[in-house]
Each structure stands twice: as C-alpha cells, then as structure tokens.
A = this chain, B = another copy of it.
Amino acid sequence: MSKLEELEGFFSPKVVGFYGVSNVMQKFGTLHLTNLLSAGYQGKVIPIHPKEEEIIGFKAYQNIKEVPEKVDLVVIATPTEYINDILEECGQKGVSHAIVLSGGFLEVGNEKGQERMKTIADTYGMKIMGPNCSGEVVTPDINITHVPWPPREGGAAIISQSGTYAVQPLIAISSKIGLGISKIISVGNEVNTDLVDYLEAMEEDQKTTTIGIYFEAVRRGKEFIEAVERINKKKPIVIIPIGQTEAGTRSAKSHTAAITSPGFIIDSICEQTGAIKVKNSIEMLNLLNGFDSLPLPKGNRVGILTMGGGPGTLMSDLFESNGMKVPILSNKMQEKLKPWMPETASTMNPIDLTYSDDMQNYLNVLPDLLLKSDEIDSLIIYGLMGSEYHKNLVNVPESIKENPSIVTMRNFGEMMHDFFIAIFDELIKYKQKYDKPIILTCYNTREERFVAYLQDHGIPVYYPEEGVWALIRMWQYAHFLKEKGIK
C-alpha cells in the first residue's frame, strides 16, 4: 500500500464521526463540525454523544457501535481522560482513521496515555493524526479545523508540527494572497503518523505541486532528510524552523513533546537538499504561491515594469543585492518600448512609466514586448489601477454629489470592469506563452476585486518587497536544480 493510500481515510472520508460536539455554542468540537459543513462537505456526519439525541439537527448516537454504517474517520475533541476508551471502541468498530484534536498527552508529560494510544492504534491498525493537533484541510470540501474560511483549491500542501500555525495564520494569509491549497495537515504529537509519512504521501499526491513545512523537531532524522532530498527535486519544499533560541526551545518543548532540533540542522538540511528555509509564514506562503502558479525562471535577469520610481528602485536594489540582475535593455529593445510610453518615462530597466492610465499598454503591450525578448527571464510589475479608487467619491459634499462628472467617476470601476478583465486574461496567457514567471506587485490587497481576480487566475499579487523575495527564492531553487543537473 502506498503512503497516500495508507492515509487516504484522512483525505476522502465518506462518513465522519464526531466526539466532543454538542449543541453548546463555542464548543471546540462543534466548531470543527460546523466548519466541515460550511465547507460544503458532501459526505455524512455523525455526532456521537452520551446524552443528546440530536446535535445541530443531526441524529446523534450514544456509542459508535450503534451507528449502522461504516465510519471512515472520527474526529475527537473530548476531555483527555475519555480519548483512549473512545479509540478502543472505534478500533472495535473498524474505524481506520482518527483525528485527535485534544491534548493532554506527551506534551504535558503524560507518556503513559500516549503509549496506550499507540498500542490501541497498532492493535487495530488505526492511523491517528495527533493527538494535540489542529486537524486538517483537504480542498475543496473538507475543513476540520476551528477556522471557518477554507482557502481556495490549488497545489500547495502544508504539513505543520505547530498546531497553531497550521490553522489560523496559515488559512488567514492563504486566503489573503489567494494561495491555492491542496492539503493542510497538523501532525500534533505524531503518535503513529508523522511528518515523514505525510511528506511521502504528498510526494504521491497528484494535486500537490509544492510543500511547506512548519518544522519543530525531527523524530526520524535520516528518513526526513532522504525524503526532503528526493521530493524537493520534483516538488519544491519550503521549511520554517521554529524553536532555535533558549526561550524558543523552552516554549517548543512544552507544547510538542519533542526534542527541538537546533536551527543549524535545518540550515544544513537545506544546503544539502536544496529545500528552502524561510523565516515566517508570509514568506513561505508567498513562495509556495509562486511555485504553484508560475513557471520557474530560467535565468537571473529580471525586467521591472513600474508606475513609480520608488518601488522600481526598491525592487532593483533587492534583486541586485541578492544575486539577480536587472540588466539595462539593449538600445534596440528600448526603441521598441518607447512608442508605448510617456515621454518622461525611463526605458532602461526599471522601465518606469511614472504614471499612465492606459492599462492595455501597461499590462499587455509592454509585457508582451519584454517577455518576448531574450533580454529578461522574469517580469515583475508594479502598479494596478483599482476599481475601488473612485468609490470614495460618495464622501464629496452633498452639493456636488450628483454632478454628472462625479457620478461618472464614481461608476468608473463598474464601467471598466469587463475591459480590465480582458486585459488581465491576456496577461495571464503570456505566462504560459513565454514560459516565464510574471509577478504583479502593488499595495492594493484582495479587497480590491481586480487583485482577487489576478490572484485566483494564476498571477500572484504581492507587496513589492514580497514579490521580489518570492522571485529571488524561485531563482535560487531553479539554480540549484540546474547545478545538480536535474533540470
């Protein structure tokens, strides 16, 4: 059986039993149940509760033995003391997979409890995610976490040894940057499935193109390194190590029940395997987004197309001080660009239009010319005309609110909508056409619907600094593969 098949019960359960749910508001378990329902889950959910006959409208059973059908997965959020007995019952019933959200085991020194859990699991051949974990997301329709907004479907898998990072921050940021997620897995205390297992499952998973890891402790060091080295050649791996200083280690130790590996181990693993170490969630998720949605850069030459000198300069600085080049374009190329640019613009690279309201030039004609040339390997663009820009005109003084010019301006976004979408669709095509990464940067965020459109259709939209870092690291990865003769 392949790793993915072994763990399949977590990823496509048809019937899910819930322990620790009730009709009481805010109950941790209930939140997981309702989030699964809100995500559009099409399977069956079965609450199991010692007293209630119905829980938020679903028939409840007192004991899993009474459930007439086969249960593929149980989710357990009861107090610690009941959990092993529940697992025993589930084992007898033939449940193959369990997510144990509750803590109270190795992480608080309850070695005995965790050992018994392992024995039960092994006896019945049951796979357990956790204990002391934050659950999982399997797009498009499974969200068994306490955060109610699952991210959109896509290719990034995330495996986390930090329960907290696996959910709130990750899901919130993923949604904000439009990152497409295949799976989020919170491994918890890893009683009988661990980081390496899930990593190997994601290696096989067809939907997963790139993998992010929140790393706190290595239990099977050799297997971990081998897996990272092998998988990273096919699916880029991004790692955040957590727990490197005294207080950090103290804190990590108290909540994951594992001996924390020092940061330098991660550095050496990354050096050996080509996996990429980053410092925080935003960097990781931006980078996964780049890997999932863009082709790799084939060289280190970047074209910068900008609506303003400041961001152009800043991006240039960052690229050039981190091993990439922002080459001056050939005279021939500059001549080609000139007719499409204002007189005060600079054609050297950064290609700086200073200001333009001609989005077709800016996001189609100029990118097409630049990407088509053999003078750059990637394109980064700064500046986006927003649809929300003129809505603020509702605040003008009452006396001019209905002035025809004001009304027209207020409706600008609406009027231009279809026209802009056509421009974006064209830009998105260039990415495949020229097989070069395109990143758009601006300070608008997802609340601006044009940003959401681009993000959801495969052009990452970031703050300028963030976009630069994503591209730098994509280039470092591409360079690693080249040097090793892999690609």
Please report the C-alpha to C-alpha distance between residue A442 and residue B354 in the assembled complex, in whole angstroms: 36
Q: For A58, give its contact among B25, B57, B328, B400 (CB under 8 Å).
A: B400
Tell me if A88 counts as interface (CB < 8 A to partner B). Answer: no
**A164-B311, A169-B311, A251-B348 known; 11 other A-B pairs, CB under 8 Å?**
A25-B412, A57-B406, A58-B400, A148-B391, A163-B309, A164-B307, A165-B311, A242-B313, A247-B350, A248-B320, A279-B465
Tell me if A123 counts as interface (CB < 8 A to partner B). Answer: no
What residues of B have a CB within 8 angstroms of the CB of A2 in the complex?
none
Tell me if A355 counts as interface (CB < 8 A to partner B). Answer: yes
Ranked nearest first, the 5 interchain pairs of A and B with the lowest CB-CB distance are A164-B308, A162-B310, A255-B309, A248-B317, A148-B392
9 residue pairs from A and B, CB less than 8 Å apart: A24-B405, A26-B409, A58-B400, A148-B391, A162-B310, A163-B308, A247-B319, A248-B316, A256-B309
- Known A56-B405, A310-B242, A395-B40; contact A316-B400, beta-carbon cutoff 8 A: no
Assess the B251–A352 pair: CB atoms within 8 A.
yes
Listed stretches A30-38, A268-276, A452-460; interface member: A30-38
A: which residues have CB within 8 A of B? 23-26, 28, 30, 34-35, 37-40, 55-58, 103-104, 107-108, 148-149, 160, 162-165, 168-169, 172-173, 176, 214, 216, 242-248, 250-252, 254-256, 279-282, 304, 307-314, 316-317, 319-321, 325-326, 328, 343-344, 346, 348-350, 352, 354-355, 357, 389-393, 395-397, 399-400, 403-406, 408-409, 412, 442-445, 447, 463-465
Please report the C-alpha to C-alpha distance between residue A360 and residue B472 in the assembled complex, in whole angstroms: 45
- Known A244-B321, A321-B245; contact A251-B316, beta-carbon cutoff 8 A: yes
What residues of B have a CB within 8 angstroms of the CB of A252 in the complex?
309, 313
Q: For A38, give its contact among B312, B343, B396 (CB under 8 Å).
A: B396
What residues of B have a CB within 8 angstroms of the CB of A255 in the complex?
309, 312-313, 346, 352, 354
Assess the B247–A26 pair: CB atoms within 8 A.
no
A411 to chain B, nearest CB (A): 9
Query: Nearest chain-B residue to A23 (Cβ)?
Result: B405
Query: Nearest chain-B residue to A444 (Cβ)?
Result: B172
- Known A392-B38, A443-B173; contact A25-B408, beta-carbon cutoff 8 A: yes
Query: Nearest chain-B residue to A143 (Cβ)?
Result: B392
Assess the B409–A25 pair: CB atoms within 8 A.
yes
Please report the C-alpha to C-alpha distance between residue A383 and residue B397 in the assembled complex, in whole angstroms: 41
Please report the C-alpha to C-alpha distance between residue A476 and residue B308 in the assembled complex, in whole angstroms: 33
- Known A242-B314, A405-B56, A406-B34; contact A320-B247, beta-carbon cutoff 8 A: yes
- Known A396-B34, A400-B56, A463-B282; contact A350-B251, beta-carbon cutoff 8 A: yes
What residues of B have a CB within 8 angstroms of the CB of A216 in the complex?
313
Query: Nearest chain-B residue to A326 (Cβ)?
Result: B247
- Known A165-B310, A344-B103; contact A37-B400, beta-carbon cutoff 8 A: yes
What residues of B have a CB within 8 angstroms of the CB of A28 in the complex?
355
Query: Nearest chain-B residue to A441 (Cβ)?
Result: B169
Q: For A162, give its contact among B108, B245, B308 (CB under 8 Å).
A: B308
Please report the C-alpha to C-alpha distance between residue A77 and residue B35 in the assembled complex, in whole angstroms: 53
- Known A244-B321, A320-B246; contact A34-B409, beta-carbon cutoff 8 A: yes
Query: Nearest chain-B residue to A167 (Cβ)?
Result: B308
Assess the A168–B250 pair: CB atoms within 8 A.
no
What residues of B have a CB within 8 angstroms of the CB of A389 in the complex?
148
Please report the C-alpha to C-alpha distance between residue A160 and residue B310 in the assembled complex, in whole angstroms: 10
Query: Nearest chain-B residue to A448 (Cβ)?
Result: B172
Q: Find the residue from A163, A392, A400, A408 having the highest chain B CB count within 10 A.
A: A392
What residues of B have a CB within 8 angstroms of the CB of A399 in the complex?
57
- Known A251-B346, A344-B108, A392-B35; contact A443-B245, beta-carbon cutoff 8 A: no
What residues of B have a CB within 8 angstroms of the CB of A320 in the complex?
245-248
Assess the A148–B311 pair: CB atoms within 8 A.
no
What residues of B have a CB within 8 angstroms of the CB of A165 in the complex?
308, 310-311, 314
Assess the B313–A348 pair: CB atoms within 8 A.
no
What residues of B have a CB within 8 angstroms of the CB of A163 in the complex?
308-310
Assess the B25–A317 pair: CB atoms within 8 A.
no
Assess the A250–B393 pair: CB atoms within 8 A.
no
- Known A309-B163, A346-B255; contact A317-B352, beta-carbon cutoff 8 A: no
Please report the C-alpha to C-alpha distance between residue A448 and residue B35 in the assembled complex, in whole angstroms: 18
Please report the C-alpha to C-alpha distance between residue A103 and residue B254 in the assembled complex, in whole angstroms: 59
A131 to chain B, nearest CB (A): 11
What residues of B have a CB within 8 angstroms of the CB of A309 in the complex?
162-164, 251-252, 254-256
Please report the C-alpha to C-alpha distance between residue A250 and residue B313 in the assembled complex, in whole angstroms: 8
